[in-house]
A = this chain, B = another copy of it.
Amino acid sequence: MARNRKNRRAEPRNLKRGLPPGAAVYTGAPRDGQVRVSVLRYTTESCAEIANIDFRACVPSPKPDEIVWINVDGIHQVEVVTTICGAFGVHPLAVEDLLNPNTRTKVDDYGDHIVAAAKMVNPAPPGLGGMFELEQVGVVVGPSWVLTFQERPGDGFESIRARLRGGAGRIRKMGADYLLHALLDSVVDVTAEVILSVDQRIDDLEAQPADLHVQAHDLRAELVALRRAVAPLREAISALLRAESPLVREHNKPYFRDLYDHVAQALDLIDSNRERVMSLVQLHLAENGHRLNEVMRVLTVVATLFIPLTFVVGVYGMNFKHMPELEWRYGYPAVWGVMVLMVLGMLAWFRSRRWL
């Protein structure tokens, strides 16, 4: 039962902070390793990448049609985050959110830039307990630049990079807001994989319900945590769609509506999986109750049949001097007759109650 505790515990820690809001302090677990910063600049025609760059060199592009995407792997070096954010004029409160690995999923509109915080729901490494781990992902979008901050090394956005490099698709033509959409969509994609594996695990449990109640307890906890990670994203996207931000242009809104549907579908599936787990537990309880009834019926039939007979034979096992029946010629067969009649009577009674 203690398996996935570490996972769940991660989040509450966020709640406690004696710090002033807006303070640029990393509030996650201590972590080492160099923070890696990479830059990708693209226009409709070209796409240039620099894998490892000094974070002090990150600035918005002077060319209006060029879009700059800066990706930061690791948020535990405060200076990196604040320097880059400073160069792009990100609001201090947003910087605080970006540095906090427990920021609640949300999309905030700061006028000239939009800040999205989300949980990437990565499948957990096997053998560690829990089915997934949450990774904080922050995205800041300006008119012609995008900053992404990932809590851990290892890159969930490689497929987007590949699409940018490829250049054939829409992605190079549609602007920074489209890139925001693509990034959040790939976050939901990863989540979907985890939901699928939960779905699979419930299928397995349905097929072979060993240890069902403990597993159902775990699964419920996983699904609650998943829901908590995913649900706010739906509301955030819905708010973004309603908002009149010039950063999300009208012709790109269908993509965000599509993203909304994507999240809604994930939530639907989480909810119906929860329903399935509950139903499975109820089925199992009902079957156990049925089995108990069965067992008790057998016990009762056997005991009710034999306990009176045992009494009867006990009677004639007594050693009284004066027991006339013992002397009778046909005493013994008579007792057998009585006992057979008793058994037949009880069997008839059982049958009348449908116990047999």
Contact = CB atoms under 8 A, between A and B. Distances in A.
Contacts of A347: none
A88 interface: no
Interface in A65-82: none
B327 A332 contact: no
Contact of A316 (B272, B284, B319): B319
Contacts of A323: 319, 332
A317 B314 CA distance: 7
Nearest to A276: B221
A167 to B, nearest CB: 12
Interface in A5-51: 5, 9, 11-18, 20-23
A250 to B, nearest CB: 10
A15 B265 contact: yes
Contacts of A317: 313-314, 317-319
A262 B14 CA distance: 9
Interface string A263-275: 0111011001001
Interface string A157-198: 001000100000111000000000110011001001101100
Interface of A: 1-2, 5, 9, 11-18, 20-23, 91-93, 97, 103-104, 106, 108, 110, 159, 163, 169-171, 181-182, 185-186, 189, 192-193, 195-196, 199, 203, 206-207, 213-214, 216-217, 220-221, 224-225, 228, 232, 254-255, 257-259, 261-262, 264-266, 268-269, 272, 275-276, 279-300, 302-304, 306-311, 313-323, 325-332, 335, 353, 355
- 6 A-B pairs closest in CB distance: A15-B192, A313-B314, A316-B318, A213-B286, A299-B300, A317-B317
